[in-house]
Structure 1
């Protein structure tokens, strides 16, 4: 069962960036923010390894006399706790259009964030509405930060801005450049459900016996955060280059069913998708060069497949795997399957964010169980939350690790 762990206790602080402002200085402040970019980052956090980040929102209706906005909230991945929205409320500078929140964050944090202006306060529903549904409705009114200089990202139920703190590690693989290969979209009936499947052929791909990576939640990587340009970097870096197959999850209900270790979905991947790829796309039948990769529930399913269908998928890449599953519902937990499984030649790449306060302990448990039963495990933690802005780079890093380097021709 998933154990509810309290969210982060982030300290809201006063900062000179806002405290020194008077009403008459606010127009000049907006000009400086437009030039410097948001959020404002200052040293001086009380906790070692932290900085102070100030997030601002400009009320388009002006000051409190003419505005209908009475509450503004920050939603920052891994930083704010959605179960306690009152702790992430911005404050208005009286008589102005400026709302702000200054909060301590790790100096190596990278994450998605957005601003939520409202007329009514955010309150947790008591009418039985599922938490995810309530939050999705809340996010319908969220906005990216117009003062952030980085591109807006269409991830996690809406447009987000990206915050990068001064000590955040650079992302080696991610790029916004489009892929130089060919992307094909087709409709494929998998486990009885017609769905989109995207196949990307990067430059430098072998003509036959092609390594292959199957990406779950494929629309994210084909459409929302196109990953083709990052895949292109594998060849020039000396790595083997795979065919990339991105499988659509269709919708939330089917996704929860299929990526909850569904036997029917597993059978569809191993008995329908892979034979088609071997026949029509010349992919290998070598499990050591056949990767399944996913995030969240997709990470759970990737590891489940490499454990239970290792004759097909010999490699799994999991980002923020939902190893709490099945919670209080029916099903056999992955941890119990690992304990009962014999060692195999499957290899596992597992990453999780240290700010994922509900997931990092289950991910460490899965790492230890896999290693303790003789499996090959490569494990990493990053300073972030349940966030596609980390997964986009970690997926390619995991694939590179699984495939290794191409042989050097003499």
Structure 2
């Protein structure tokens, strides 16, 4: 409490005490009810009382005007309940809820005197204190809402969706109206008992779907770019568990499954409904000509090796990709080093993408080193800015690969990865610029800092690698950064925000940086579609000429 507020409150109490004696003697206060105004003139330090026509539980809102005029709420025992306006303003609003010590009075007073006007603008009874009905964005759901209001059921609604498929994608009749480049996507689930959560929501979090009244319809509507592709899973009746917030959040994996009314999935050949994700492609989503293996393109060669690291003390799979007709002596060869190598190979299909891009001349002849993880736990330990892992790549993998004929000038060598792998790629660019002249990060986890997952939600992680770039000398490395518009959630640290922050730091340091924000979220489904464009940016045949011109 400030000194002035304390003086005001003491003054009010003294004035109230003076008035309470008078009120008990006269007990002739005028009254005021909703929509009414009371005007008057006060002498210095005079108090006037006005009885309030309201009952317990009522919400009361109004205002008082008058220079230096103060307003107090008094209970049936003539005790001060609260100060509603302290006189510091010519026109002050007030609001309160009537308690069980009524009837109440409103007391108007002023130390200096003057004219005042008191109004009661609204009195809302407890039974009427309900939120307005939710305005549904989806015109199909609004139509269903009307059907239910007239005694209908959800049967025909679900029957149509079983034929059409889900989610709903709508453009006309959406409330409020969509922008020209937007669409409304409504995810739906039928028949859960307690809750439904959307794994992979466009919000970037695991959102709760809403229930339509007491029906079997659970829904969540999102305005998204009309060029987006989205992968998602639905998790009905997620258990509430004791434990940490992280453990409770991960409980969604117990029931997360593909959408039973959506036949489009990634990967496409999963039989188990709990495997893979459902996919929705919006009307303006761009074509993806580089992803599927083409019959007129000769496939490159994949070799699997078991590699034992003395630096890390473990063994992992490392894959070599060599293009068709690869000449290890060619001066213009490119080389790409990817983390999460088995995922890029088996889920993304990087070999087919490279085959297609090389065959059509979009990128130079490029070999690839695909470094896998010994285990999920080792991935979490090794990829986030680990000096030992950087040493493993620089001192063990790269010399060994060179001895096997996989080598290129640093200007045509790129280190790449996604999420933690994207973070690792940027770290390798900082630690070993003599090997990597290019860094390609797909949704890099640049929020990361030591112990970041245990950090307080009120104190976000410190973006450790970005800080390292601030204080480190600049090297001749080009950066290609991507992040999705759905990756803006700040629960741990927004990947979109922290990627932009790294971009800004790199630009301020004088680095050559390209940044792309794509209409999507976090996952190899999204990175797969972005990968061909990113590889073209990094490994186009004209890149060498551009570098020489500089």
**TM-score band, normalised by shorter chain:** 0.7 to 0.9
CA distance in 2, matches of 1:90, 1:169: 33
In 1, the alpha carbon distance for the partners of 2:523 and 2:201 equals 7
Query: Which has the higher mean CA deviation after the structures are superposed, 250-259 or 176-185?
Result: 176-185
| Of 157, 164, 168, the match for 1:36 | 164
SS of 1:104 mapped into structure 2: strand
Partner of 1:150 in structure 2? 264
By relative contact order (CA 8 Å, sep 6+), the higher-ranking structure is: 1
In the alignment, which residue of structure 2 is the partner of 1:314?
A: 437
Is contact 2:182–2:225 with CA below 8 Å preserved after alignment? yes
Other structure's SS at 1:318 match = strand
SS in 1 for 2:317: strand
Encode CA deviations 1:187-218: one digit per residue, 9 max, x unaligned.
11233210111222233533435422111112
**Alignment match, 2:515:** 379
**Structure 1 residues 89 and 180: alpha-carbon distance in aligned structure 2, compared to 1, 3 A threshold:** farther
Per-residue CA distance 1:96-150 (angstroms, 9 max, x = gap): xx534141321333221111122xx554x56226x1x544442131111233242
Distance 2:204 2:496 in 1: 17
Q: 1:92 and 1:185 mapped to 2: Cα distance?
A: 55
1:73-222 to 2 correspondence within 5 Å?
73-79=197-203, 81-82=205-206, 85-86=207-208, 88-91=209-212, 94=215, 99-108=217-226, 109-118=228-237, 123=240, 127-128=243-244, 131=246, 133-153=247-267, 158-171=275-288, 173-175=290-292, 180-190=299-309, 191-209=312-330, 210-222=333-345
- List gaps (5 residues or longer) in structure 2: 1-133, 453-460, 489-493, 544-550
CA contact (8 A) 1:78 1:386 kept: no
Across the aligned residues of Structure 1 and Structure 2, the Cα RMSD in angstroms comes to 3.1
Deviation larger for 73-82 or 346-355? 73-82
SS in 2 for 1:381: strand
Alignment match, 1:4: none
> What is the aligned partner in structure 2 of residue 345 from structure 1?
476
Match of 1:5 in 2: none
Change over 3 Å in CA distance of 1:102–1:325 after alignment to 2 = closer
Map 1:211-290; keep pairs closer than 5 Å. Answer: 211-238=334-361, 239-280=363-404, 282-290=405-413
State the number of aligned residues: 376
Match of 1:53 among 161, 165, 185: 185
Any residues of structure 2 matched to 1:399-410 within 5 Å, and which? 399-405=535-541
Higher Rg: 2
Whole-Å separation in 2 of the counterparts to 1:311 and 1:149: 48
- TM-score normalised to the size of structure 1? 0.81
| SS of residue in 1 equivalent to 2:469 | helix
2:464 aligns with one of 333, 342, 363: 333
Change (3 A) 1:323 1:149: same
> In structure 2, do the counterparts of structure 1 residues 158 and 327 end up closer, same or farther at CA, with 3 Å as the change threshold?
farther
